[in-house]
Amino acid sequence: MSRGDTALGPHASPHHGGRLREAAVRFGRPLEDWLDLSTGINPLAWPVPVVPAFVWGRLPEDGDGLESAAAAYYGAPDALPLAGSQAAIQILPTLRPPGRVGIPEVGYQEHAHAWRRAGHEVVALANGDPGSLLDAGPDQFDCLVAINPNNPTGQVWPPELLLDWRARLAARGGWLVVDEAFMDTTPAGSLMPYVGLPGLLVLRSLGKFFGLAGARVGFLFAEPNLRERVARRLGPWTLAGPSRWIARQALVDADWQAVTRAALPAASARLAALLRRHGLAPAGGTALFQWVLTPEAERLQTALGERAILARHFEHPASLRFGLPGRASEWERLERALGSIAGDWSRGADDPDRVAPR
């Protein structure tokens, strides 16, 4: 459970946050005891109403208002609904002949896994910046993946730089794939206004900001021919009818969106301050998580697990990602747990040769 995404071999399936059942077995604690901070999903999700009975009894079909709601929310037409942006991540590499693809070394590892599995040469970029490799003669990139903001580092790329990368790639038929799963609280940084430019593909998701990961709803935005190629590969009924219905309701709820867009950054700042109080100053983050670099990452994850709190561990670099607590009792529980761990470590209760993470 402690292996981070970037420690994986070339063909191993990436690990993810949210493996709560595995943690429950490992630590011998029932599921209902756990505080899951491993995923970066809004803990105060959009409140799903009762889904009408007719939605369950009919095949999903276009014309239910989902695409128009997505266009209004994201500010770009022709959204292609997906079973989460993961569906596009898996399909896109199969639409090109094997080539050379630059992907952030530290980031959502399903991107590298999918491109590698489709036969492409994946080049790990230390900080996600292709630099001179973008146009390096015969070794130049055919495609580039930008995770913006990055998960888990929180790094943000300015639109003008991404557009420059896109133009250089598109000039030779290449793609820039931009994963904006964590962009909802900072829409000014999105490339949505530029959707339709050659070689630009943008992925969005309802899983994080809306807290609807279980509905498995995402969208691909791209120039028409690429969009249609993906649609043909997906086939009919990409989304379940109830997921389409829920997504449309969430996308048109402007009042909830406005409140949440203000609340999440404040909660994330609160989390950063809580972590700093316990010697865990974040190295990066977004409105939905904070990322802490520490050589004690694996040990700290274990200590939290013993208290039925799940954080996301990465091996390379050694780090933990903390999602947001939701209820007041959850904030208090995390505060107590980190204080207890620091006390145990300073007293040498776990290992007399170790010190507290300060």
Q: Kindly indicate the confidence band of residue 15, based on its pLDDT and cuts at 50, 70 and 90.
A: low
More confident of the two residues 58 and 352: 58
Q: Please report the domains of the chain, with CATH numbers, ordered by start residue.
A: 5-45+258-346 (3.90.1150.10), 53-252 (3.40.640.10)
**pLDDT, position 9:** 46
Q: Kindly indicate the confidence band of residue 18, based on its pLDDT and cuts at 50, 70 and 90.
A: low
β 143-147/175-179 pair status: parallel
pLDDT at 350 over 90: no
In whole angstroms, what is the distance from residue 347 CA to residue 329 CA? 27
The answer to whether residues 308 and 31 touch, using CB atoms and an 8 Å cutoff, is: no
Per-residue pLDDT of 200-216, as tens digits, reads 999 999 999 999 999 99
pLDDT at 2 over 70: no
Least confident of 24-28, 159-163, 343-347: 343-347
The answer to whether residues 70 and 186 touch, using CB atoms and an 8 Å cutoff, is: no
Q: In what order do the strands lie in the sheet with 289-293?
A: 284-286, 289-293, 319-323, 312-314
Per-residue pLDDT of 215-226, as tens digits, reads 999 999 999 999
Exposed/middle/buried for 158, CB within 10 Å: 0-12, 13-18, 19+? exposed
Backbone φ, ψ for residue 207 (5° rounding):
-70, -35
In whole angstroms, what is the distance from residue 64 CA to residue 55 CA? 11
The answer to whether residues 252 and 210 touch, using CB atoms and an 8 Å cutoff, is: no
Q: Kindly indicate the confidence band of residue 12, based on its pLDDT and cuts at 50, 70 and 90.
A: low
HSE-up (13 A, CA, CB side) for residue 297? 23
Question: In this prediction, what percent of the chain has a pLDDT beyond 90?
Answer: 86
More confident of the two residues 138 and 243: 243
pLDDT at 356 over 60: no
Backbone φ, ψ for residue 81 (5° rounding):
-65, 140
Going by C-alpha positions, the residue among 6, 350, 80, 43 that lies closest to residue 212 is 43
Q: Which residues pair with 177 in a beta bridge?
A: 145, 201
Mean pLDDT, rounded, for 52-72: 93
In whole angstroms, what is the distance from residue 221 CA to residue 80 CA? 7
Mean pLDDT, rounded, for 240-246: 97
pLDDT at 80 over 60: yes
The answer to whether residues 108 and 147 touch, using CB atoms and an 8 Å cutoff, is: yes
The answer to whether residues 23 and 1 touch, using CB atoms and an 8 Å cutoff, is: yes
Q: Which residues pair with 200 in a beta bridge?
A: 176
**pLDDT, position 149:** 97
- What is the token pair recorded at 196? 């339709």
Q: Kindly indicate the confidence band of residue 16, based on its pLDDT and cuts at 50, 70 and 90.
A: low
Mean pLDDT, rounded, for 34-43: 96
Measured over the CA atoms of residue 312, residue 315, residue 316 and residue 317, the dihedral's sign is positive
pLDDT at 354 over 80: no
**pLDDT, position 132:** 85
Question: In this prediction, what percent of the chain has a pLDDT beyond 70?
Answer: 92
Query: What pTM, to 2 d.p., does this model score?
Result: 0.91
Q: Kindly indicate the confidence band of residue 124, based on its pLDDT and cuts at 50, 70 and 90.
A: very high
**pLDDT, position 19:** 82
Mean pLDDT, rounded, for 93-118: 96
Mean pLDDT, rounded, for 311-327: 96
Going by C-alpha positions, the residue among 305, 318, 292 that lies closest to residue 3 is 318
Q: In Å, how far from its chain's centre is CA 141?
A: 24
Q: Is 211 helix (H, G, I), strand (E, B) or coil?
A: coil
**pLDDT, position 17:** 61
Mean pLDDT, the chain, rounded, equals 91
- What is the token pair recorded at 190? 């999105």
Helix runs in 20-65, H state only:
20-27, 53-57
In this structure, what DSSP letter does residue 215 have?
G
pLDDT at 138 over 80: no
Going by C-alpha positions, the residue among 275, 289, 271 that lies closest to residue 341 is 275
The answer to whether residues 8 and 15 touch, using CB atoms and an 8 Å cutoff, is: yes
More confident of the two residues 78 and 7: 78
